[in-house]
Amino acid sequence: MTPNQRRWLRRLTLLAVFVLVILLVSHHSQRTAKSANPPNPPSIPVVTAVAKKGNQPIYLIGLGTVTPFETVTLHSRVDGQLMSVAVREGQMVSAGDLIAQIDPRPFEVQLLQAQGQLERDQAALANAKIDLARYQVLYAQDSIPKQQLDTQVALVNQDEAAVKADEGPVENAKLQITYSHITSPVTGRIGLRQIDPGNIVHVSDANGLAVITQLQPIAVVFSIAQDSIGPVARKLRLGQSLPVDAFDRDFKTKLASGVLLTIDNQVDVNTGTLRFKATFPNKDNALFPNQFVNARLLVDVNRNVVLVPAAAVQRGPQNSFVFVAKPDGTVETRSVVVGPINDDVAEIEQGLAENEVVVTEGVDKLQTGMRITERQQGGAERKDVPPLSP
């Protein structure tokens, strides 16, 4: 290789080294610039709601049993053959409706016999009275002795007593005929019958003919902790009407609405609860006897308080808090004092003002200062709080 060629080779090598150094310096500068200005973190999508003022009901909840005011097991009061049943199973009946008919013919025969004996003794009494009238005239004329008149008076008294004694069997036979017509003593729903027509029924039958249960109105007996007796008892003494709602066992469907009727007179020492009794009109027969329900008793209403969806309230190791959306698109953590929670609506006693925006969904990854993207849902409002009577 000639000296001229070696010189050009050195120049090309230096040029390549120079270009490589420039590229390395440029790459390092770009990395330094990126590390000095990191990209903005993405905002977190959340659902928010506006805190509003409204009325928060205070409820007491207990498990209860539907209890009819009247349940009657129909029994026969006479022995005999069941001739017919006048109602269908499950039919609504009124007080006085005919339910079943027992063969009345044996009692009709007894009635005829008793009436015959009564008429015979009535005829003997009438004859004795006629003789007594004659004896009284003869005695006044001094034609018969006093003893004969007294004997006739005694005979009239005996015949009168016999007539009274004969009236008893007549009335008894009529009563047996009445008993052979079995009627409903109450208004209610008849259950499944226990015996079919054609069978012989007896007064001593244990199961009876059928069961009639009053459905309208109907009661619910439920238990409440003894700590809640005071407020309820005070309102009852003042004559206030306390609304009670009956829900199904899952507490999802309201079955009926009624009012508190009374409370028991002693606490169950085993459970520390007191029994409450509410009455329901039950016009649609939604409540059935012995049905288990959840009873919700309205005892008070906190009015004009701050309400938020219960999902906005978070529980911490020390206190409860909510995430409040700020106007700059970030969130902050706010400690709050939570009051009663009903129907997924929470009352905030302290820490939050009306019209502030709280996060209800998407709180899992939130921290103070994080940016959020809001999608607002409806606020917490109460429109169905029943009024308490004065």
Radius of gyration of the chain (CA): 47
| Whole-number pLDDT of residue 370 | 86
| Whole-number pLDDT of residue 32 | 57
**Is 275 within 8 Å of 223 (Cβ atoms)?**
yes
- Round to whole Å and give the CA distance between 324 and 349: 16
Q: Where are the alpha helices (DSSP H) in 180-313?
A: 229-237
pLDDT at 269 exceeding the cut of 70: yes
- Round to whole Å and give the CA distance between 146 and 158: 19
More confident residue, 152 or 41: 152
Query: What are the pLDDT digits (tens) for 53-77?
Result: 999 999 999 999 999 999 999 999 9
Record the tokens describing residue 110, joined without a space.
């007894």
Same domain, 342 and 289: no
End-to-end CA distance of the chain: 118
Query: What are the pLDDT digits (tens) for 106-149?
Result: 999 999 999 999 999 999 999 999 999 998 988 888 888 989 88
Query: What are the pLDDT digits (tens) for 202-238?
Result: 999 888 899 999 999 999 999 999 988 888 988 888 8
Which of 120, 155, 179 is where one domain is finished? 179
Domains: count for the chain: 3
Residue 361, classified by CB atoms within 10 Å of its CB into exposed (0-12), middle (13-18) or buried (19+), is middle
What mean pLDDT is predicted for residues 264-270?
91
- Round to whole Å and give the CA distance between 174 and 162: 19
Same domain, 353 and 310: yes
| Whole-number pLDDT of residue 342 | 85
| Whole-number pLDDT of residue 73 | 92
pLDDT at 171 exceeding the cut of 90: yes
**Is 189 within 8 Å of 88 (Cβ atoms)?**
no
Q: Is residue 168 part of a domain?
A: yes
Which of 137, 158, 179 is where one domain is finished? 179
Question: What is this structure's pTM?
Answer: 0.69
**Is 350 within 8 Å of 337 (Cβ atoms)?**
yes
Q: Is residue 156 part of a domain?
A: yes
Same domain, 261 and 297: yes
Per the structure, the complete domain to which residue 323 belongs is given by 46-55+304-376
Residue 147, classified by CB atoms within 10 Å of its CB into exposed (0-12), middle (13-18) or buried (19+), is exposed
pLDDT at 83 exceeding the cut of 60: yes
Judged by DSSP in three states, 164 sits in helix
